[in-house]
A and B are shown apart, each in its own frame.
Chain A
């Protein structure tokens, strides 16, 4: 069934888009990542202009995050206090990100900057997660291995403005979650993604948050950053396609429910290994595109952009 997208000005197969929404929603519910890092390349792959892909999927991420948070909320897996502190940093980060985006746009190199930051962030974080989760799985198989300390303490935990987060059983500097939120906010603005793939490992490894609370709390924060991104994109660039967002979010909210259920049955390290594999695969694909000779060295942009 073909559906015409009024803003993207193209016709797409509705079932294909619904399926893509479902898949990304499933991953979103399972891992607590927004899935934007997957959705943007997928949308561009089916021919949606990059700017509209970014603007629209920010909109659908709002819905996916709300539905994901609800499911986590019922299980008591959202640390609202920590989420709000992260959000405070996220607002600052988004503003900085918009500023950097403007500079890159004036330099005419925004495309390659986006692709490079995808390759860099996805590659590093995915690689680190891959190593860590494989080790954790190997340790589990070898019962003689020593049990590590509950919390490793590094210099980051000596920062001022200590705050108590009862639900996460943490007593850490507020600067830490705020800083993570700020980096997440920057990614929302520059890469047009929720930033969950960065937030989740940062919360696990830097904050030492209980794994069960990570997904719900990061989704809670992502609701607000993606809502802000949607508003900005619609108001300034008019790149939010409501029709495309509707299709994606129908698929996405259903997928997120299944994903949350599947995720609660997965062991933490198995889920991280699966997520890391996907993240690394996307990074490798993008890097391949960057370094391999394109079919046509010339690209065409119509209009004033």
Chain B
């Protein structure tokens, strides 16, 4: 995929130098070294989302430039992992879990932003190749079910993720400033899973992806909340003892305080 993209690389030096200067201005030179090779340059306002005690969700700005007219699509994918979808059925009047399907490699977070509606930009094969948009997202399941059954589970997975705010319900908007500069805001809710995210910027011309750039983004707990979760994970027994001792002390302190009143 990348090889095909690279083959079409133009050698319009002037233009790319101009883009490089612009990008350098914007990014403080962080990606200037790779600029010469690309028709598309993009970066994030921050490469680390720090989850502190006061974290309520955050927005990251993605901005960049192209070497000429074209459309841009941004795909943000969270760390992948297994997910189980369970279906409830009525048993003796009660709704209980009866069947389940386990999906592998499910992105914990997925959102797409585009400068124009996707169906106006590229055909289905390209959408599928790039996994561009929720209908094209590949979610391999371990079950052997009839296709329509599996589709019900798949859409349930997406629906539940959307309800949690982790899959975007509608596509975000990539805004162009002039012909080459573009930007978009990516929103991460308070329940954003931690891990390494991939932010992929695609340049689309004449119905095909001509250039792509991937930027990493780390979502991590920082400070007190990080210390608590590390403690709980690495020393679970001591953590449990500390929780009990802390609770007894707090109960005792409150009891003593109220005695005076």
| B215 touches A (CB below 8 Å) | no
B237:A231 contact, CB within 8 angstroms: yes
A9 and B236 within 8 A (CB): no
Residue A4 interfacial (CB < 8 Å):
yes
Comparing B33-41, B130-138, B226-234, the segment that makes contact with chain A is B226-234
Asked if B247 and A60 sit within 8 Å, CB to CB, the answer is: yes
Question: 15 A-B residue contacts at CB 8 Å?
Answer: A7-B229, A59-B244, A62-B251, A63-B248, A227-B244, A234-B243, A235-B236, A245-B243, A253-B253, A290-B94, A297-B88, A298-B87, A301-B84, A301-B85, A302-B82
> Bound state CA distance, A234 and B247, in angstroms?
14
What's the nearest-Cβ distance from chain B to residue A92, in Å? Answer: 21
Determine the chain A residues whose CB is within 8 A of the CB of B161 once the complex forms. Answer: 300
Instruction: State A68–B248 Cα separation when bound (angstroms).
Output: 11
Q: Which residues of B contact A249 (CB under 8 A)?
A: 247, 250-251
Q: Please tell me if A190 contacts chain B, counting CB pairs below 8 Å.
A: no
Q: A63-B251, A291-B93, A299-B86 are in contact. Are A10 and B191 (CB under 8 A)?
A: yes
* Chain B: minimal CB distance from A58 (Å): 9
Total inter-chain residue pairs, C-beta < 8 Å: 198
Task: Please give, as numbers and ranges, the residues of chain A lying within 8 Å of B87 by CB-CB distance.
Answer: 297-298
Q: Which residues of B contact A (CB under 8 A)?
A: 51-57, 81-90, 93-97, 100, 106, 108, 152-153, 156-157, 159-161, 163, 190-191, 193-194, 221, 224-226, 228-229, 232-233, 236-237, 239-244, 246-248, 250-256, 258-259
Additional A-B contacts beyond A298-B87, A298-B153, A302-B193 (11; CB < 8 A)? A2-B54, A2-B55, A4-B225, A11-B55, A66-B250, A68-B251, A223-B248, A231-B237, A234-B240, A298-B152, A298-B157
B244:A304 contact, CB within 8 angstroms: no
Partner of A231, one of B53, B191, B241: B241
A246 to B157, CA, bound (A): 34
Complex contacts, A300 vs chain B, CB 8 Å:
83-86, 156-157, 160-161
Q: Give the chain B neighbours of A191 by CB distance below 8 A.
A: none
B225: chain A residues within 8 A (beta carbon): 4-6, 243
Complex CA gap A278/B203 in Å reads 60
Query: Which listed residue, B90, B96, B191, B254, touches A67 by the CB 8 Å rule?
Result: B254
A80 beta carbon closer than 8 Å to chain B: no
| Given A70-B251, A234-B232, A240-B232, also A4-B54 (CB < 8 A) | yes
Among all A-B residue pairs, the 3 with the closest Cβ atoms: A66-B251, A234-B240, A70-B255
Question: Known: A2-B190, A70-B255. Is A111-B97 also a contact (CB below 8 A)?
Answer: yes
A50-88 contact mask (Cβ, 8 Å, vs B): 1 or 0: 000000000110111111101100100000000000000
Q: Contact between B243 and A302 (Cβ–Cβ < 8 Å)?
A: no
Contact B243 A230 (CB under 8 A): yes
A277 to B6, alpha carbons, bound, how many Å? 72
Looking at the assembled complex, report how far the CB atom of A27 sits from the nearest CB atom of chain B, in whole angstroms: 16
Q: Contacts A11-B191, A299-B160 given; indicate if A245 touches B232 (C-beta within 8 A).
A: no
Q: Which residue of A lies closest to B99 (CB)?
A: A298
A9 engages B191 (CB within 8 Å): yes
Give CA–CA (A81, B239) in the complex, Å: 31
B88 shortest CB reach to chain A, Å: 5
Decide: A4 and B97 in contact? CB cutoff 8 A.
no
Residue of B nearest to A287 (CB): B94
Q: A2-B190, A242-B243, A253-B250 are in contact. Are A291 and B51 (CB under 8 A)?
A: no
If A62-B247, A293-B95 touch, does A302 touch B83 (CB 8 Å cutoff)? Answer: yes
Q: Which residues of A contact B239 (CB under 8 A)?
A: 234, 238, 240, 242
Let me know if A242 and B232 touch, CB within 8 A.
yes
In the complex formed, the residue of A with least CB distance to B166 is A302
Question: Chain B residues near A11 (CB, 8 Å)?
Answer: 55-57, 190-191
Q: How far is the CA of A200 from the CA of B226 in the complex (A)?
A: 40
Across the two chains, which residue of chain A brings its CB closest to B152?
A: A298
A294 at the interface (CB under 8 A from B): yes
- Would A253 and B240 count as touching, CB distance under 8 A? no
Query: How many Å lie between the Cα of A169 and that of B146 in the bound state?
Result: 69
Q: Kindly state whether residue A183 has any CB partner on chain B within 8 Å.
A: no
A305, B100: Cα distance in complex, Å:
12
Chain A residue with the shortest CB-CB distance to B189: A11
CB distance from B93 to the nearest CB of A (A): 6
**B residues within 8 A CB of A68?**
251
